[in-house]
Every structure is written in C-alpha cells, then in structure tokens.
Chain A
Amino acid sequence: VCAQVETSPRRCWQKVLYERQPFPDNYVDQRFLEELRKNVHARQYQYWAVVFESGAVVQQLCSVCVFVVTWWYMDAGVLSPQGLFGAALVSSLLGYVLFDAIDAGVGRRESGRTRWADLKSTLVFIAFTYGFSPVLKTLTESISTDTIYAMSVFMLLGHLIFFDYGANAAIVSSTLSLNMAIFASVCLASRLPRSLHAFVMVTFAMQIFALWPMLQKKLKARTPRCYVAVTVLFALAALAGLASVSSVGAVLFASLLLSISCLCPYCLIRLQQLKDNIHGPWDEAEIKEDLSRFL
C-alpha cells in the first residue's frame, strides 16, 4: 500500500466511500476535521448593552426591597395605611396615564381593551380584597411568625428566580413568579396590626409586582434613556429606604446591585471568549423556513 502511495503521489485521498482507496481504513488525512467550525452561533456582547439589560434584574431586586421596607414601616406603625394607600393610588394613576402616553395609545388600540374594562377590574379587585382582608388577617394566626417570615423569604426568592427578565429559558414563568410574590405579600400582610393594613399591603403588592413591571417593559422598549433614569432613581430610592432601616443592609444591597449591573456583565464577556462550541457536517440540519403555510 505504501509503495503505491509513493509511486503515485498525485493520487490523493478523497472523502468518499464508494471507491476503494490505496490507504488503510484508519488513515488520517490532513483534511481530517477541515469542516470543523467553532462558535458559529456565539454572540459578541457589548459591555454597556449587557449593563443596560441587567437593569431588569436590578429593578426587580429593588421592587422586592421597596416592598419589604414598606412592610417594615407599616409593621412598626410609622407609616399609616391611609397614607400608603393614597400615595399608591396617586402613583398608580400617574403610571396609568404614562402607560398610554408612551406609545400614544397604540398598544391600547391593538389590544382593544377599553378604559371602562380597566376601571371595572380595578373596582372588583379592590372590593374583593377589602372584603376578604379580615379573613387574611386571621388566616395565618395558628402559624408561627418565624414560619411566616421564612415562607415569605422563599416566596420572594422564587419570585426573583422565575421572573421573566426577557430570557428565553424553560425556567421562566411569569404567572408562577407573580403568584409567589402575592403569596409572600399575603403572608406578610397577615402579620400587620389591623385588617386595613393587610388590605393596603396586598393592593400595594399588586401594584409593585404586577403593574410596575408592565410599565417598565414598555418604558424599556420605547424610551431606553428614560428607563435608565427611572432604574437609577428607583434603585436610589430603594437604597435610601433600606438605609433608614439598616445601614449595613443598605451597604450590602448596594454592593449586590453594583455587582449585578457591573461585575456580572464583565464576567460574562470574559467567559464568552472561552466558549468552545463545535459545529460541523454532523449537526442535525435545522428547518429554517416556516412550513405552516402549507397546512
């Protein structure tokens, strides 16, 4: 075999099976693995773009922080329920107007939802919550306060984990996330002194965990600059609130926010360079066309 190869150097190896070639079966040609491609789909990230995207995580952390701080003030009796309810109502109305103003009412027209429907669902929600708040108050009486705190912590953590930050992953579930947050708010509200407190706390949770992220999403899509400003302001507000409760907590929280918005993107970009994703002719072909038009 070798002699043959040497005498006819022009006869080079071909990547075909139908022909018997003068090479042993385990011959390794120079062309071996020449069709190997690496990191075909790997994305190149820009540092500031990643920092901008991390805003969603920062916002959500701040929401949880603001919620807990508010609860703490209510529990300590510093904040009156009427005051909180009034503030929340005003900010909700502002947000409602803003929500339509950002895209000049385009989203509303597309969804076909009337203002009357919005008002109706708000009234129904408020009436039900108000009616059931005495039940909320007594619901968890038999459960120890430590258990309630532990449960709230787990539920809020779960809310943060399953929240839809815009990633396309299997773990994301906005319904589960919202339910966990509401559950945590119900748990915490039941430890407040009166049923009016509980009612205000649950409404506030609804506003901060359900309505606020919707507004944020729209802000982010339409006016990125505004979104950055709002995020920074919101983060500062949350930090200030936390600082008035515990200065150590505020320092820790500030470092957490900084590491998420600055350090983590840096790590992502550094690790991206180490990515080693192999592609070649053996990959299963993807059907890129939309075949549903034939059906």
Chain B
Amino acid sequence: MQSQERPFRSASGEPLALRRRQHSASCRELALRRPRLQLRSLSAVTSAVWLAAYGVFVLSENSMVLSAAIFITLVGLIIYLHFVKIDQESLLVIGSLGIQLTSSYASGKESTTFIEMSRVKDVVINEAIYMQKVIYYLCILLKDPQDPQGVSEVVPLFQSSQPRLDCLMEVYKSCQEILDQRKEAPQSSGIK
C-alpha cells in the first residue's frame, strides 16, 4: 500500500491536502483534508459573543443575557462541530464494487454514501455557478435504469472543500484509471 500527500488550495483560497492511498491496482482512496478548527478563531468568536452579551447586560441589567450567551455558544459549538464543520472528505473507488463517499465532521461523526459500480456511468468534471463564482466540481453521473445511455442523477463530490481545478484533475485521473480498468475487464473476459 502506497500513500502520498500533496498540498492544494480550495476555490476560496483555503489550504487543502490531498492524500492518495493505493490499496491495490483497482482500489484507491482519495481524501481531501481541510484545516482543523483553530483554537485562535474559536476563542475569538466566543469572546466576541460574550463581549456583545456583556454589553447588552450592562444596558439592560438583566443577568439572563449572560447565561443565555454561554448557553448559546456551547450549543452553537456542538452543532457546528457535529453538523457543519467537515474536516475530511474522502472517495474510495473499488473497481469491482463501487464508490464510497465519506465526510468526517470535526466531532468525529462520519456520514457515508455508497454507490454501486453498476449504477455509475462516469465521473466527470463540470462547471457550475456557485454563489457569486463560477467553479469547477467533480461529479458522478448515475445511470438511468430505464435508459442505459441516459443519466438519472448527478452526485457532486467534495462539496464542502471545493478544491480547485488542478486538484480535481488529479482526482479525476485516478478515478478514470480505475473506471477504464472496469471497462476493459468485460471485453477481455469476453475474448476468453
């Protein structure tokens, strides 16, 4: 098993790290790691909220404000770590089985989606208008069960890290290598 890590940047300029792991010839894992939550920014936000609350307390002379502020920061932090902040997004491509997408939240929670190889039509890079930007993104095209040529659904990848084009190309090439193997496989078995 070989593993390598390369630095990239996201569409908003944030540093990202792409780790490629070659488990076997037809099994590859690609993980994009975003920077961890910085203690500095965490404390900055907390103290800002508390200072604001203290200001309101001085004006209104109601101590409920202070306790509410502490409560809100705690709940907010838990929600942020558990549902919003994604530390790592990874893509596990197994030629014979399928593609597994995993997002790991800062709290350690993981959400996983698995797409069978028989449903995958292709992996492509596409362009989209996102907020006030036009960005490239990687997506999996799913086959339409009724129409083998058609596409029923588009699953976008790395939605929260939004890597730039050079990183996407890297991932795209890795995926295509394995998908190409899959396409060649039935032909060779046919010849045998």
Check A-B contact in the complex, CB < 8 A. no
Q: A-contacting residues of B (Cβ < 8 Å)?
A: none
